[in-house]
Homo-oligomer: A and B are copies of this chain.
Amino acid sequence: MLKDQHILRIPGPSPIPPSVQRAMNQTMIGHRGKETKELLERILPKLKSVFGTKQDVIPVAGSGTAGLEMAVSNAAHPGDDVLVIVSGAFGDRFAKICEAFQLKLHRIDVEWGDTIDPQIVQAYLQEHPEIKVVFATYCETSTGVLNPVQLLAKTVHESSNALFVVDGVSCLGGVEANMDEWGVDIYVTGSQKAFMLPAGLMFIAASERAWKVIEENPQPRFYLDMRVYRKNLEKVSTPYTPALSLLFGLEQVLNLLEEEGLDNVYRRHIVMRDMTRAAFKALDIPLLTSEEDASPTVTAVRPVDFDAEALRSVVKEQFNLTLAGGQQHMKGSVFRIGHMGYCSPADVLQTISLIEIGLVKIGKEIPLGKGVQAAQEIYLQQEEK
């Protein structure tokens, strides 16, 4: 096997564009100097475009989970009733954080692979007017569903006074965010998914309504206190040492997104999803999620007549192609393909062609090339639109 080739198709961390890698190698600068201020001045307005908000988007050194905790610990305090809508492992993580912060946890659990039905949420909120915050996951990484954030935001606001907090970790930057228009109160995302950066940076933004709650929230917090970051952003600064090399990379990521055009970026992700799904349908291999629920950033496949783990092993061994396995109770029964960030339709075609070879290697009879063909057809059709 060719050494030093890594074909990384997990739903994050995702591959880094070479120009971003180069940007991150810039010489270190003083984090309190003029250059850092100028860097932030260039970055911050572009981040707002990706979030679709006029509010500040705060970059914080920390992983996506730190972002989820920041959302929880700033939006609620011990004793608050909160509702977490759990559609997979990352909804579950939101719930665990709420428990750790001694919130009164209400959960709506959705079958893994399904999205949240806004009507159920509406009914629950009408029955439980004490709920102060509703937490939801935009793209549920563990199943590859994209929850209907726009509809959910509308439902939450129409049926309660609760804040609506969204984990956008595995999709923001790859799908529409529309924070202000849809009425998302707190949005969180991480750097290592559609943002095409290494892990270590997360981004959080809050609506005016949310800021009122955050400002008055007595919850003890220090590093993840959003108020301190907001105060520092007024003077285009950060309260604690910023992860400078990641910010260097972030600037280049934002340049790349701008150069391609956000609408084109979102369209590219939809095409990649449709190509991936068409391939597996052509090969008669079941997908975990329905057409309507599928995320443009990750696809979960649920094999019935072959071993997902055997396939993952063989493509890793043959091509150094890394696919993700299932999480929690889906371990072993699904595999997941990340197609987000620095990933193109060309990469999807490659991935499918390698998976087809992997399937033959593990003894599954498939018509070689048929998945690729179906994906090629989708590419050509999309181009015609």
Closest to A373 in B: B369
Instruction: Say yes or no for A40: interface residue by CB 8 A criterion.
Output: no
Instruction: Say yes or no for A171: interface residue by CB 8 A criterion.
Output: no
Closest to A379 in B: B357
Contact of A260 among B1, B264, B356, B360 (CB under 8 A): B1
B5 touches A346 (CB 8 A): yes
Q: Chain B residues near A356: list those with CB within 8 A.
A: 376
Q: Chain B residues near A5: list those with CB within 8 A.
A: 17, 342, 344, 346
Q: Chain B residues near A349: list those with CB within 8 A.
A: 349-350, 353-354
Closest to A282 in B: B369
A228-270 contacts to B (CB < 8 Å): 256, 259-260, 264, 268
B360 touches A380 (CB 8 A): yes
Instruction: Say yes or no for A107: interface residue by CB 8 A criterion.
Output: no
Instruction: Say yes or no for A304: interface residue by CB 8 A criterion.
Output: no
B-facing mask of A350-383, CB < 8 A → 1, else 0? Answer: 1001101100110000001110111011011001
Closest to A371 in B: B369
Instruction: Say yes or no for A126: interface residue by CB 8 A criterion.
Output: no
Bound Cα distance from A296 to B3, whole angstroms: 18
Contact of A357 among B3, B321, B361, B376 (CB under 8 A): B376
B376 touches A342 (CB 8 A): no
Q: Give, as a whole number of angstroms, the nearest-CB distance from A315 to chain B.
A: 9
Q: Chain B residues near A343: list those with CB within 8 A.
A: 2
B360 touches A368 (CB 8 A): no
Closest to A321 in B: B346
Q: Chain B residues near A344: list those with CB within 8 A.
A: 1-2, 5, 319
B-facing mask of A14-27, CB < 8 A → 1, else 0? Answer: 00011110000100
Bound Cα distance from A372 to B349, whole angstroms: 10
Instruction: Say yes or no for A105: interface residue by CB 8 A criterion.
Output: no
B368 touches A345 (CB 8 A): no
Instruction: Say yes or no for A305: interface residue by CB 8 A criterion.
Output: no
Closest to A315 in B: B346
B346 touches A354 (CB 8 A): yes
Q: Chain B residues near A361: list those with CB within 8 A.
A: 380, 383
B353 touches A380 (CB 8 A): no
Instruction: Say yes or no for A181: interface residue by CB 8 A criterion.
Output: no
Instruction: Say yes or no for A4: interface residue by CB 8 A criterion.
Output: yes
Q: Chain B residues near A256: list those with CB within 8 A.
A: 3-4
Instruction: Say yes or no for A121: interface residue by CB 8 A criterion.
Output: no
Instruction: Say yes or no for A44: interface residue by CB 8 A criterion.
Output: no
Instruction: Say yes or no for A7: interface residue by CB 8 A criterion.
Output: yes
Bound Cα distance from A347 to B3, whole angstroms: 13
Bound Cα distance from A344 to B159, whole angstroms: 56
Bound Cα distance from A76 to B376, whole angstroms: 55
Q: Chain B residues near A373: list those with CB within 8 A.
A: 368-370, 372
A319 touches B342 (CB 8 A): no
Q: Chain B residues near A357: list those with CB within 8 A.
A: 376, 379-380
Q: List 9 A-B contacts (CB under 8 A).
A: A1-B260, A3-B17, A4-B17, A319-B345, A319-B346, A349-B350, A350-B353, A357-B376, A368-B377
Q: Which residues of A are at the interface with B, using a C-beta cutoff of 8 A? A: 1-5, 7, 17-20, 25, 256, 259-260, 264, 268, 318-319, 321, 342-347, 349-350, 353-354, 356-357, 360-361, 368-370, 372-374, 376-377, 379-380, 383
Shortest 3 CB-CB contacts between residues of A and residues of B: A369-B373, A350-B350, A2-B344
New A-B pairs, 5, CB < 8 Å, besides A4-B256, A321-B346: A2-B268, A4-B19, A4-B342, A368-B372, A372-B373
